[in-house]
Structure 1
Amino acid sequence: MSQKKKFKVVLVAGEPSGDFLGAQLMKALKKKTDFIEFFGIGGYLMEKEGIRSFFPLSDLSIMGIFENWRQTLKAWKRLKETKNLIVGINPDLVVTMDFPGFNFRLGKGLRKRLKETPLIHYVAPTVWAWRPGRAKKVSKFLTHLLTLFPFEPPYFKKYKLPTTFVGHPVVELGFDEGSKQRFMKRYEISKEETLLTILPGSRIVELKHHLDIFQKTVDMISTRIPRLKVVIPTLPDLEGYLKSHWSSSVPMILVTEIQEKKDAYAASSMAIAASGTIALELAQANLPMIIAYKVSPVSAWIIRASVQVKYCCMVNILLRKYIVPEFLQKDCTPTKLCLEALKILKNPQKRQQQLEAFARVNELLRPATMTPSEKAASVVLRYLQPTEGG
């Protein structure tokens, strides 16, 4: 690039997933140009890449539906403060990442005050699952939308919003690079033992719904597969809860480091997981799985009334086919989970069916010629260098 002027780019994350997206985007942009200054809201990963953060990312973690009034007031204060700081910077471009409750309010406010500034949002709202009217709403203030899934752009292009599929960040995390040998050696697991990964959730409320069911499932499986061990990849904040609430006689290993998580996946025979993005991690790791999920009766009623998709597991949604077994609400029982787990553990054909499906999913999650962050960076650079095309 020949310009001497540094472009001012604002990036706004609201939670750890957005921090990862932002950091990967910053890395990709810095490989292309030295002429960008980064401002906004980011966490540890984005700060490592050089963002000048307005305030700690944790200040936005209070945003939610059922928070108390003090937290809500603080969130609105931060929203107003963020708008004013961005307007004061007068950036060349703004990229918001996921976290729609905050970022869409921010985007609407910025559009009124920065009428010519490109506003890009990274991670499409799931209009294909619920509240389809959001597609039209975001088209009124966004300049461009970056999506994680290949089927998403048509939902927004029909409202004339430029939309680009860039791929899913999970493909850049290396979940297919774990070492079975390293994990088994570290935790003294013999070749005769069977290792089962369980993933009961990433929040306390999910653990309360799933952990007891998963433990009873493990106990039932152990009567048919005696030399069984369990590994639970989790977050450091949840480690104490899991230790104090694990009552199964089956030995349990807790891991919190990302590399150990990859190694655990490589060493495991299968996984039982709460629904969510975790299914895409397991697909990347080529680990056969069962998906199970349970919420309160009120939440279940709301979901049934509003959600418009046939499946809940992203593998099944992407392939439009029931490949990964799903056990939801009244079907989320130890007996049903145990019977299905035993089928996967004992039937090579069922395992192979999932592995073949994972290969197709992993192809769908990445753009053809570059990584997701590189693809996202190429879109951002088009708005900073409009005369150079692309």
Structure 2
Amino acid sequence: MKLFLIAGEPSGDRLGAALMAGLKQLHPAVQFEGIGGPAMQAEGLSSQFPMEDLSVMGIAEVLPKYLALRRRLHEAARGVLAVRPAALITIDSPDFCLRVARLVKDVEPELLTIHYVAPSVWAWRPGRAAKMARVIDHVLALLPFEPPYMTAAGMTCDFVGHPVVAEPAATPAQAQAFRAAHGIAPRAPLIVALPGSRRSEVTRLIAPFGAALREVAARHPELRVVLPTPRHLADHVTQATEGWPGQPVILTAPDVATRTAAFAAADAALAASGTVSLELAAQNCPMVIAYDMAPVSLWLMRRMARIDTVTLVNLVSETRCVPEFIGNDCRPDRIAPALLSLLETGPGPQAAAMRLTMDRLGRGGEPPGLRAAASVLAHLA
């Protein structure tokens, strides 16, 4: 049995890898084709082209790369049709993936299409669910409140849990070992900075992040900073953080154990909006969320938004414990006081919100990748 998988960014790559591992466990003869990053390739995928070609977000950011993305779109669709898989499984990146599904369905309408990660229609653009139902048969949802939105639009949907709950929490010993390995004193205040996994995000956020950390370092001169980054952005991040305070430790494409140890070792995190807030919560690392994008993208997002927070920990826990600074609020003079509060008074209500989030996402149950694989095989049957 052959399956064609498409992921367009690092978080999708990790989802795809966990799904592939689950599929191999339940159906050892499965074979994979498609597009993915290093995690999916480690599970046996030979990517048709670099996944990084698709890691673009926001209207203003996409426009300069429109022609290249269009070529990749048709290349991916041709790849699916050539393989003739038992199913096409698209993973997140809906602007690209659903267009591929539409091109494929135009030629092979009976091909089973599965999309992993329900679109956030509860947050904005609710009409996306109905449009998605024209080309997607089944959805694998990460959040427990999403299936009703998908079934109402005409698709089947299973809540499979969020893969972040399957990652083991780093122990205190591992956290201290991380500090020791990188020359960070046991009691030095440590902030992990996460300005995103896309070049456009990092370019826009690196300056306000650095300026906010300078304000923190003015009160805490012993501050240290750790900054994980994807391999394709390592040089860019290294150059952009020259002059940052805290003797930044750049972690290039860290493995899961190193990344979780870094989060557990940190006293606080400054992160871009996205799945990383859940990864931090899994390691009990309190956080401040800050995000900015091109003005036209931000204007459109705000006009369409149906929620008052973009942070997943806030949404899943149904609290508003995690401070966030979006758009015009993504300013060092606003971010720094929130970070200082975490360093000086501790996580406060965030601690309970992070625990509740993990419980609601399936912590303690069957691994989400295995649940997702079982859902795929059930619909193939």
TM-score (norm 1): 0.86
- 1:354 equivalent in structure 2: 350
Structure with max Cα Rg: 1
- For residue 239 of structure 1, the aligned residue among 228, 234, 237 is 234
SS at 2:349's partner residue? helix
1:379 paired with 2:375, answer yes
SS at 2:178's partner residue? helix
Contact 1:120 1:142 in 2 (8 A): yes
Contact 1:294 1:329 in 2 (8 A): yes
- 1:266 equivalent in structure 2: 264
After superposition, the Cα gap between the structure-2 partners of 1:163 and 1:340, relative to the gap in structure 1 and judged at 3 Å, is same
Unmatched 5+ stretches in structure 1: 1-6, 386-390
After superposition, the Cα gap between the structure-2 partners of 1:64 and 1:232, relative to the gap in structure 1 and judged at 3 Å, is closer
Contact 1:11 1:42 in 2 (8 A): yes
1:213 paired with 2:203, answer no
After superposition, the Cα gap between the structure-2 partners of 1:105 and 1:188, relative to the gap in structure 1 and judged at 3 Å, is closer
Distance apart, 1:177 and its partner CA = 5.2
Deviations 1:77-115 (A, max 9, x none): 443344344334433222121221222122223323323
Supply the AA of the counterpart residue of 2:352: E
Once residues 63 and 205 of structure 2 are traced to their aligned partners in structure 1, the CA distance between those partners, rounded to angstroms, is: 29
Distance apart, 1:42 and its partner CA = 3.2
- For residue 43 of structure 1, the aligned residue among 15, 37, 44 is 37
- 2:191 equivalent in structure 1: 196
- 2:305 equivalent in structure 1: 307
Provide the aligned C-alpha RMSD in A: 2.8
Contact 1:148 1:167 in 2 (8 A): yes
Once residues 244 and 47 of structure 2 are traced to their aligned partners in structure 1, the CA distance between those partners, rounded to angstroms, is: 45
- 2:323 equivalent in structure 1: 325
Once residues 320 and 188 of structure 2 are traced to their aligned partners in structure 1, the CA distance between those partners, rounded to angstroms, is: 30
Deviations 1:100-136 (A, max 9, x none): 1222122223323323332111111221222111111
SS at 1:151's partner residue? coil
Deviations 1:360-387 (A, max 9, x none): 10112227731111111111111333xx
Contact 2:56 2:200 in 1 (8 A): no
Distance apart, 1:316 and its partner CA = 0.9
Supply the AA of the counterpart residue of 2:99: R
TM-score (norm 2): 0.88
1:370 paired with 2:366, answer yes
- 2:105 equivalent in structure 1: 111
1:11 paired with 2:5, answer yes
Supply the AA of the counterpart residue of 1:247: G
SS at 1:211's partner residue? helix
Once residues 224 and 75 of structure 1 are traced to their aligned partners in structure 2, the CA distance between those partners, rounded to angstroms, is: 46
Contact 1:123 1:148 in 2 (8 A): yes
1:172 paired with 2:170, answer no
Supply the AA of the counterpart residue of 1:188: G
Q: Percent identity?
A: 37
1:87 paired with 2:81, answer yes
SS at 1:120's partner residue? strand
Count of paired positions: 377
Q: Bigger CA drift: 324-333 or 71-80?
A: 71-80
